[in-house]
Structure 1
């Protein structure tokens, strides 16, 4: 196994900030990590489900301002959001399981 560095593959030392900017996240909007993004996505799914539930209640109470079509669309959006969240959760659990089963 050859462990020597290839000089053609090293970073150009005249532009160190360019490589650093490509790797570092953009913090112009504040520090947002994976956890913050995941929480925001969960809140959006929850809000969609709550909106769908409220639309269903309004249709059941025969509110003339709420149509059945809008309610069905809201229900489908909530269902799709929940299914996507469920798939992400399953992938994260599988990744965690794979990492924990790795030998050291």
Structure 2
């Protein structure tokens, strides 16, 4: 497993988000925030499942799985989960700020 895989996925998502062209009013833009958020959450879920699978295989004595693979997968899923939590916190903070604005 490679640690730079998560970094490349984040860069790809950033490029996907910035490569959208502005559309006239009423038309859908190229990147839908909901779809991007769903993809990111599914990616975090996949990383956690992979980490759990590798740990289970290592615990059962699979010779094809090394301790370093397990630790790298666990750290990858932990970093992705922490980043997701931070995004959620910022979204909640922004929502609260908008709701407290006078109309």
TM-score tier by shorter-chain length is 0.7 to 0.9
Matched, 1:53 2:52: yes
For residues 51 and 45 of structure 2, what CA distance do their matches in structure 1 show? Answer: 10
For residues 81 and 71 of structure 2, what CA distance do their matches in structure 1 show? Answer: 15
User: Deviations along 1:52-93, whole A, 9 cap, x unmatched?
Assistant: 000000110010011110110000000000000000000000
SS in 2 for 1:23: coil
For residues 103 and 91 of structure 1, what CA distance do their matches in structure 2 show? Answer: 20
- In structure 2, what is the equivalent of residue 4 of structure 1? none
- Matched residues, number: 80
Which structure features the higher share of helix residues?
2
User: Larger C-alpha radius of gyration, 1 or 2?
Assistant: 1
Higher relative contact order (CA 8 A, sep 6+): 2
TM-score (norm 2): 0.72
8 Å CA contact 2:21–2:30 kept in 1: the answer is: no
Matched, 1:38 2:30: no
Contiguous gaps of at least 5 residues in structure 2: 1-19
